């Protein structure tokens, strides 16, 4: 188990530059000290997570400790990514936070049915983003204990 001071690897699967910048700006204001890696489309996200294609080297593309996943992505969408992750015995333990603009009740139900650990509707203001990220930061990195991920040396 990692100590509270340890760095975690956070994978943000987000195609919007604006939303990613808002997330990172909010992380910085919260004093976030973890490593963030970004993937901008669904197909590359699956390749990264399952060490395929250009991400075949598990040392260069290590398993994340937590995933922030947008639903609306080019290529495979967030629903497909979530389903593949939660159906894989090695990946299902990685917590997945859905962070999307969709407040559609069917999307919310589908994500939880597929194993999402949290569902957050992206705020529309920078103040709202900061509050949302602060809450996620407090919950996932101060209150919760993340499962140990299997990292290939």
CB atoms within 10 A of CB 148: 10
- Higher local confidence (pLDDT), 45 or 7: 45
58-101 tens-digit pLDDT = 888 999 999 999 999 999 999 999 999 999 998 999 999 999 99
Q: Is 18 exposed, middle or buried (0-12, 13-18, 19+ CB in 10 A)?
A: exposed
In this structure, are residues 78 and 98 in contact, taking their beta carbons and an 8 Å threshold?
yes
Residue 50: DSSP 8-state: T
d(C-alpha 138, C-alpha 143), whole Å: 6
107-149 tens-digit pLDDT = 999 999 999 999 999 999 989 989 999 999 999 988 988 886 4
21-25, 51-55, 92-96, 146-150: which has the minimum mean pLDDT? 146-150
Reading the block at residue 143, the tokens are: 């209150």
- Cα–Cα nearest to 66, from 118, 24, 29: 118
Q: What are the structural domains, with CATH classification, of the chain?
A: 9-143 (3.40.50.2300)
Which residues share a beta bridge with 37? Answer: 11
**Backbone dihedral angles phi then psi of residue 70, each to the nearest 5 degrees:** -80, 150
Tell me the whole-structure pTM to 2 decimals: 0.90
**pLDDT classification of 150: cutoffs 50, 70, 90:** very low
Q: What's the pLDDT score for residue 81?
A: 97
Q: What's the pLDDT score for residue 148?
A: 64
Reading the block at residue 10, the tokens are: 């956070």
Q: What's the pLDDT score for residue 145?
A: 86
Q: What's the pLDDT score for residue 141?
A: 86
- C-alpha 64, offset from chain centre: 8
């Amino acid at each position: 188990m990692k100590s509270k001071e340890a760095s975690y690897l956070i994978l943000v699967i987000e195609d919007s530059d604006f939303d990613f910048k808002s997330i990172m700006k909010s992380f910085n204001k919260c004093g976030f000290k973890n490593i963030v890696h970004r993937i901008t489309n669904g197909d590359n996200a699956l390749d990264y997570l399952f060490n395929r294609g250009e991400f075949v080297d598990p040392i260069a593309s290590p398993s994340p400790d937590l995933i922030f996943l947008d639903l609306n992505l080019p290529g495979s969408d967030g629903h497909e990514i979530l389903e593949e992750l939660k159906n894989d015995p090695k990946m299902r333990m990685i917590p997945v936070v859905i962070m999307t603009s969709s407040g559609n009740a069917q999307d919310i139900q589908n994500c939880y049915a597929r194993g999402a650990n949290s569902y957050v509707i992206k705020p529309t203001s920078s103040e709202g983003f900061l509050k949302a990220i602060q809450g996620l930061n407090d919950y996932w990195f101060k209150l919760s204990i993340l499962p140990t991920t299997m990292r290939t040396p």
